[in-house]
Amino acid sequence: MSDESKAESIKPREYQINLFNVARRRNSLIVLPTGLGKTLIAAMVAEDIIKRGGKVLFMAPTKPLVSQHLETFSKFLNLSPPDIFSFTGEIDSMDRRFYWTRSRVIVSTPQVVWNDMKRGDLDISSYGLLIFDEAHRATGNYSYALISRKFLETRSRLIMAMTASPGGSREKLDEIRENLGIEEVLIKSESDPDVAPYVGGITVKTITLDLPPELKDIGGILKSIMDPIQEKLRKAGIIRYNRASRKELASKVPQLVERAKAGNPALFSLIPYVTALIRLDYVMEYIESQGASVAYQYLKNILESEDNSIKRTARILEKNPSTAALLNALERASGDPESNPKLSKALQLCEEKISSNPESRIILFTHFRKTASIVHEYLEKHSTLIRPIKFVGQASKEGDTGMSQKQQDEILSKFRSNIYNVLVATSVAEEGLDIPATDLVIFFEPVPSEIRTIQRRGRTGRLRAGDVYILMYRGTRDAGYYYSSRKKEATMGKNIEKTVAKIEKDNSGGKKESTNLDDFF
């Protein structure tokens, strides 16, 4: 397909054409940084399939992404309903049956696709191309893997998968390849000659802050509550050391249940201590990364919960007189935003950027909704330059009402038009949403996931140079998460290179070199 065959308003770049020329022939996983046009490549492959009389199914993991991709594909392919349609679970099943049969392009969440396949409403073999957005999710029993397996059972068909980051481990990358039947892994980075002209460049800086003495003291109180619980579990042989990770502790619960059922019922009494330790470890993490407010609310919820499992944790905590002191100390610190230096540093960074360029756009990522609310309120209260808006997911959590898709769309529209200039966002803004190019991205805390780190970072530095600042407390989990994500990202790069080399070696060793699309129809 030549450049001229595209819509006049959308001219593909050299690297997009290069990737398209492979993806149109072989099942491909395209690894391309955020904001560099993976969706356009998918639309090019889709157009090629449609011209040959085939049908296309494009899947994305969230409703906002489905809506966004529907808009992009409709414009690029010049299609309108019923030739192109989207499903997110809100369309009646009878209507979906019509569109499954009638439409040439369906954009859907994978959950809807899999449910309709199980009911017999969808014959997946009638599609010539499946596109998997955010393909790093295609592991375990996620719907992507289930759909792909059934699709690949039918006969030779084309799959295109795309992601900004497939994950750090070789095992995960191999699992994605196997689940999606991937024959080619196509990776492009900002430094590739055909990509570099379209990248503004990113400067990443870490800002290391000292945990305030007040929070250190609170951490000491918390430790005095955790220590006797850890010692109890160590003496019982449940853990070997007094410092067990949450992952290790969580793995102990089903083991204890099995052993208790197998003839040692006394072990049931130890399970609440394991879960209590897990919950207290979360409190410690909140203190060391989010500040007192999130930790206070979490602990307060435990002590006031009506859930029977959480009540057992509360009873254990209430036996320790230090728990009341911990709650009181957290409450006092929560009333003083200045006890959290990350807030004042975030304010400073935002104001400096907007002062230098009033047209700047900034995204400030937080891991928790409660933190997003705190940051949003603080910025709004302490600055006349900053016009912040909170941006969270659709589901309601822990008394925090989610945002509808319409609300999300309105916020992004106002962010693009500079009505708001700082988007205080949770993870919902990490994956694929059409968020305008930003000048600054702030991590309120490091995240241990290399995938999320790459996606957050990729929100800047596309059309013009951008800055990334990562806020972290010295000697806390912040630092551990930061170095963990760096290590995983480096490992991911090496594993992708090894995988690409292996595929090239296999292909040169006599495996089928390519699949002509004429074989599909």
C-alpha separations of 92 from 88, 121, 134, 249, 449 in Å? 10, 12, 26, 43, 37
Q: What is the mean pLDDT of residues 174-203?
A: 87
Q: Is 345 helix (H, G, I), strand (E, B) or coil?
A: helix
Q: Which tokens go with 340?
A: 């959290």
Task: Tell me whether strands 105-108 and 362-365 are parallel, antiparallel or unpaired.
Answer: unpaired
Q: Which tokens go with 255?
A: 């083991």
Could you give phi then psi for residue 107, rounded to 5 degrees? -115, 125
ω into 82 cis (within 30 of 0): yes
3-state secondary structure 415-447: HHCCCCCEEEECHHHCCCCCCCCECEEEECCCC
Number of H helices, E strands in the chain: 18, 13
382 within 8 A of 347, measured Cβ to Cβ: yes
Which of 105-119, 148-162, 278-292, 338-352 is predicted least confidently?
148-162
∠ CA 166-50-145, nearest 5°, is: 30
pLDDT category, 521, cuts 50, 70, 90? very low
Give the per-residue pLDDT at 432.
64
If you ran DSSP here, which 8-state letter would residue 157 be given? -
> Residue type for 176, please?
I
Q: What distance in Å separates the CA atoms of residue 438 and residue 360, rounded to the nearest whole number?
A: 7
Q: How many CA atoms lie within 13 A of 202 on its CB side?
A: 26
Give the per-residue pLDDT at 450.
85
Read off the pLDDT of residues 228-282 as tens digits, 9 standing for 90 and up: 999 999 999 999 876 788 999 999 999 999 999 999 999 999 999 999 999 999 9
C-alpha separations of 53 from 73, 215, 272, 307 in Å? 17, 64, 60, 56
Q: Which tokens go with 350?
A: 């935002």
Q: What is the mean pLDDT of residues 400-418?
A: 86
Mean pLDDT (the chain) is 88
CB burial of residue 361 (10 Å; 0-12, 13-18, 19+): buried
Flag whether pLDDT at 496 surpasses 80.
no
Q: What distance in Å separates the CA atoms of residue 44 and residue 42, rounded to the nearest whole number?
A: 5
In the chain, what are the domains? 3-194+495-520 (3.40.50.300), 202-209+340-474 (3.40.50.300), 213-337 (1.20.1320.20)
If you ran DSSP here, which 8-state letter would residue 92 be given? -
Of 460, 469, 467, the closest CA to residue 35 belongs to 460
217 within 8 A of 326, measured Cβ to Cβ: no
Taking each helix axis as running N to C, give the angle between helix 271-289 and helix 308-318, from 0 to 180 degrees, rounded to the nearest 10.
80
CB atoms within 10 A of CB 334: 19
Q: What distance in Å separates the CA atoms of residue 160 and residue 57, rounded to the nearest whole number?
A: 10
Q: What distance in Å separates the CA atoms of residue 117 and residue 105, rounded to the nearest whole number?
A: 17
Read off the pLDDT of residues 10-33 as tens digits, 9 standing for 90 and up: 688 999 999 999 999 999 999 988
Of 289, 299, 313, the closest CA to residue 365 belongs to 289
Of 411, 412, 369, 415, the closest CA to residue 392 belongs to 369
Q: Which tokens go with 198?
A: 């379209």
Flag whether pLDDT at 211 surpasses 90.
yes
Give the per-residue pLDDT at 154.
75
> Residue type for 364, please?
L
pLDDT category, 336, cuts 50, 70, 90? confident
Strand partners, 209: 473
Whole-prediction pTM: 0.78
Give the per-residue pLDDT at 422.
97
Give the per-residue pLDDT at 8.
40
- CB burial string 150-173: b at 16+ within 10 A, e below: ebbeeeebbbbbbbbbbbbeeebb
Distance in Å from the first CA to the final CA of the chain = 19
- Percent of the chain topping pLDDT 70: 91
Strand partners, 207: 471
Rg (CA), the chain: 25
